[in-house]
Structure 1
């Protein structure tokens, strides 16, 4: 994680569950692909040409 940049901005509530909202633009920062590390494993998230998200291990 790069601590030099601002943390991802969260929105208010998502529906009735009150879950945080992260904008994809904030996560991807102009890129088409990012890596998410979860419990030591790396996952790649891509934005397709159709604007959909795909998550692969």
Structure 2
């Protein structure tokens, strides 16, 4: 279960703020591209050859 991979991390500038960190390897699971459904629309999240992330509608 992926819940174990989620970590809460406080920002140094705002100790009260909490953010969930998800490793990209956990999302992509060995592929270079995933589809994300958000608010009824499908987005493509891709890892480029240079290791950058690109999100397209």
TM range (shorter): 0.7 to 0.9
Q: Which runs of 5+ in 1 are unaligned?
A: 1-5
Q: Which residue number in structure 2 is paired with residue 49 of structure 1?
A: 49
Question: In 2 relative to 1, CA 19–43 (structure 1 residues): closer, same or farther, beyond 3 Å?
Answer: same
What number of residue pairs does the alignment pair up? 52
Please identify the structure whose Cα radius of gyration is greater. Answer: 2
For 1:33, the equivalent position in structure 2 comes to 33
Q: Give the structure-2-normalised TM-score.
A: 0.80
Normalising to structure 1: TM-score of the pair? 0.80
- Structure having the higher strand fraction is 2
Inter-partner Cα distance in structure 2 for 1:51 and 1:14? 26
Q: RMSD over aligned Cα, in angstroms?
A: 1.4
Distance 1:39 1:18 in 2: 23
Runs of 4+ aligned structure 1 residues displaced above 3 Å come to: none
Unaligned 5+ segments in structure 2 are none
